[in-house]
Structure 1
Amino acid sequence: MSQESLLFLNRPAVLACLEKFDPVEVVAEVLRDQAAGRTEIPTEGYLPWRNGNGAYSRAIAMLGALHRETSSVYGMKLINAAVDNPSRGIERAGGLSFAFNPETARPELIAEAGYLSAIRTAAYTMVSLRELGPEQWDGLTLIGTGALARAHLDLLVRNFPEVRRVTVFDLSAERSAQLVAWAAGQHPQLTVAVAASAAEAVSASPVTVTLTTSDDPYVPASWIRPGSFLAHVSLGDLTEEVFLGAEAVFGDDLDLIEENPRRILGRLLQEGRVTRPGTAAAPATGPGRTVDGTLGQVLLGLVPAVRPSTGYVVSNPFGMSILDVGMIDAVRRTAVELGVGQRLDLL
């Protein structure tokens, strides 16, 4: 029997690879592939439970495939989380990303996925800001100050170096203080201030990114100043009225969003109060609106980009597995070029 092995990358090795390519461009390329119909996104595996502390915990297995002219790419992200992990001194979410050999179907690379997953999410936000954000903006608000917040600041300084003012809010004052201290060391060019409330934070900046675990909507339209952009990365921060009153609403994959009623936009789509492009909301269900399109369609020029003017624009990604597959493929190719990682024998 032939010897089989795979390459393992810990976080330092992943970070070394990320320094050599632009994750924002990787995500943009995958979004174009998706809009052009060159992707496969199977139903994700989802396993929830309560841990010994009674805290919500879950495991998500996300498979995907990219079919490009030169080759096809297959992979998976296994990302697990417990909401009380920060109290243990570890990040809320962590896991592994896999790159599969397209001929043998064997995993040929496994990488620590906690930071890689966060950077993929932040990269989507950066693409959406580039294509749909305000024409000019001078400040960013982050609601939630965990690992995703750090990844967003890492990419903010790389992609929007002119933006120096950051406002943050978290229910935990300790986590907010930790983010401020981290940013002072990692990105001293940023001025990071802690808001006294979520309302103050949202009104402080023309761009707000929600990065919480909330499933209880709390952001009303009255908090949002004209000309704002909201990246609704988490599940349930924005109220229904925010979606229904927006100048424009964009997603990443409307099928995935609609299938998940835990998301506000998903429930609105199921109820018919928000509908797909080209259709109208059913009058019987009350006031409604139409989703303007997906970010991939904007990148391909299939739907027009809408930037905020007198109102606000909402970006609501589901978080597609193919973005993780595209990212781990870029990491795999870079790891081979750099010669980083640990070779593990399987047989």
Structure 2
Amino acid sequence: MKPDQIRVLDRATVMRCLDEIDPVTVVESAVCAHTQGHSELPAEGYMAWENSAGAYTRSVAMLGAVRHGPGTAYGMKLINASVTNPSLGIERAGGFSVLFDPETARPVTLVEAGHVSALRTAAYTMSTLRHLGPAHFDAVSIIGCGTLAAMHARLLRQYFPAVREIHLFDLDPNRTAALARQMRAECPELKATEHQDLESCVRASPVVVTLTVSSEPYIPPHWLASGAFVAHVSLDDVLPAVFREAEAIYVDDVDLVRDNPRRILGAVMQAGDVVADPETAAAEGRALARRYGDVLLGRAEAVRPRDGFVVSNPFGMAILDVAICQEVAVQAAEAGLGAVVDLLGDPARAHA
């Protein structure tokens, strides 16, 4: 493309390109690059307000760069959300990601972000389950039954065919029922069990995935079965005692998690109950936050749940979106997909 032209990829085109991509492999590669110091993650821009219904509404802008293949991928993710969006019949979160040309810094590809964001989040969970989860499991409990839950259910079928049952709970029983219907339609051999109460859903499986918008922690450690794995994807689902009592805690970036005031683990780390230094943890008997990238790189042995439970608590780095979008952009360019728009508005240069 010529300078100041940008390729726009809608969700349908993104999904077509993703058919040729293994998202777990891409996510793991980006996590490894970040752990090795081959990435840039400036502070995110965050703005929150209340909409006309008095509901929490926010905008998050995240720049990032990560080593990818022979070069570096540069980009930005803008993802906005309102908790009342599902009642309007739309997904809670949506937005776009933009990739930059490494030489000119011009934006060259604009990618619908909602699908990629959900995919990279679920792909990270699948990766941690592969390396940190129970050696054998055939059931998973999902708390929160929105878009992220549907994506997790889809990838669970793909990456863990031994899973035969998914337990579901949402504060809104209609969302629980809707996801159960979707799962039964897409994969009849996979049993979708709807729960009317939260505790029974958490206790039902050795793997618990939290995908809510809760701002108040509510899951105590005694709900978790011996040998359980908790993918604490959302911000504030487990009580502080879960972290204090965990056999192991894994994060994608210690500093990002610790310094974020909007997540329970950040508060627990700031209080000193969970530390990032192994010597301090051993000497003072405190819980240790480990870097998941060290496991992927072979620098550290994975701790799987034994008599207690293991918790994965990712920050959710924008470089994962950038890496996946870069793969999508390559597929789209090679196949000539998407609409190429001239940002300078020269009709002679614009084409589809």
TM exceeds 0.5?
yes
Matched, 1:54 2:54: yes
Q: 1:132 to 1:63 in 2, by over 3 A?
A: same
Q: For the Cα contact (< 8 Å) 2:173–2:196, is it kept in 1?
A: no
Q: 1:184 to 1:315 in 2, by over 3 A?
A: same
Q: 1:123 to 1:95 in 2, by over 3 A?
A: same
Select which of 321, 342, 345 maps to 1:345. Answer: 342
Q: For the Cα contact (< 8 Å) 2:4–2:106, is it kept in 1?
A: no
Which position in structure 2 is the counterpart of 1:155? 155
Which position in structure 2 is the counterpart of 1:28? 28
Q: 3-state SS of the aligned residue for 2:237?
A: coil
The offset of 1:70, in angstroms, is 2.0
Q: For the Cα contact (< 8 Å) 2:4–2:107, is it kept in 1?
A: no
Q: 1:178 to 1:69 in 2, by over 3 A?
A: closer
The offset of 1:38, in angstroms, is 0.6
CA distance in 1, matches of 2:11, 2:250: 32
Which position in structure 1 is the counterpart of 2:242? 242
Which position in structure 1 is the counterpart of 2:255? 255
Instruction: State how 1:64-143 maps to structure 2 within 5 Å.
Output: 64-68=64-68, 70-143=70-143
Q: 1:294 to 1:129 in 2, by over 3 A?
A: same
Which position in structure 1 is the counterpart of 2:178? 178
CA distance in 2, matches of 1:224, 1:106: 49
Q: 1:312 to 1:99 in 2, by over 3 A?
A: same
The offset of 1:337, in angstroms, is 2.3
Select which of 296, 316, 319 maps to 1:319. Answer: 316
CA distance in 1, matches of 2:240, 2:104: 47
Q: 3-state SS of the aligned residue for 2:301?
A: coil
Which position in structure 2 is the counterpart of 1:267? 267
Q: 1:103 to 1:15 in 2, by over 3 A?
A: same
CA distance in 2, matches of 1:313, 1:112: 34
Q: 2:224 corresponds to which letter in structure 1?
A: I
Q: For the Cα contact (< 8 Å) 2:64–2:74, is it kept in 1?
A: yes
Which position in structure 2 is the counterpart of 1:189? 189
CA distance in 2, matches of 1:242, 1:345: 52
- Per-residue deviation, residues 232-263 of structure 1 (Å, max 9, x unmatched): 00010000111100111101101100111221
CA distance in 2, matches of 1:209, 1:245: 18
CA distance in 1, matches of 2:83, 2:179: 18
- Per-residue deviation, residues 71-95 of structure 1 (Å, max 9, x unmatched): 1110111000001100111000000
The offset of 1:185, in angstroms, is 2.0
Unaligned stretches of 5+ residues in structure 2: 345-352
Q: For the Cα contact (< 8 Å) 2:4–2:108, is it kept in 1?
A: no
Identity %: 48
Query: What is the TM-score normalised by the length of structure 2?
Result: 0.94
The offset of 1:99, in angstroms, is 0.9
The offset of 1:343, in angstroms, is 1.3
CA distance in 1, matches of 2:343, 2:27: 32
Q: For the Cα contact (< 8 Å) 2:68–2:323, is it kept in 1?
A: no
Q: For the Cα contact (< 8 Å) 1:273–1:287, is it kept in 2?
A: no
Q: 1:273 corresponds to which letter in structure 2?
A: D
Which position in structure 2 is the counterpart of 1:334? 331
Q: 3-state SS of the aligned residue for 2:156?
A: helix
Tell me the number of residue pairs that the alignment of Structure 1 and Structure 2 aligns. Answer: 343
Which position in structure 2 is the counterpart of 1:289? 287
Q: For the Cα contact (< 8 Å) 1:307–1:313, is it kept in 2?
A: yes
- Per-residue deviation, residues 206-231 of structure 1 (Å, max 9, x unmatched): 10100000011100011001011000
Unaligned stretches of 5+ residues in structure 1: none
Q: For the Cα contact (< 8 Å) 1:3–1:346, is it kept in 2?
A: no
Q: 3-state SS of the aligned residue for 1:280?
A: helix
Q: 1:59 corresponds to which letter in structure 2?
A: S
CA distance in 1, matches of 2:187, 2:196: 23
Q: For the Cα contact (< 8 Å) 2:143–2:212, is it kept in 1?
A: yes
CA distance in 1, matches of 2:316, 2:185: 30
Which position in structure 1 is the counterpart of 2:201? 201
Q: 3-state SS of the aligned residue for 1:242?
A: helix
Query: What is the TM-score normalised by the length of structure 1?
Result: 0.96
CA distance in 2, matches of 1:211, 1:281: 29
The offset of 1:278, in angstroms, is 2.1
Select which of 305, 308, 313 maps to 2:302. Answer: 305
The offset of 1:340, in angstroms, is 1.6
Which position in structure 2 is the counterpart of 1:16? 16
Q: 1:82 to 1:327 in 2, by over 3 A?
A: same
CA distance in 2, matches of 1:187, 1:57: 34
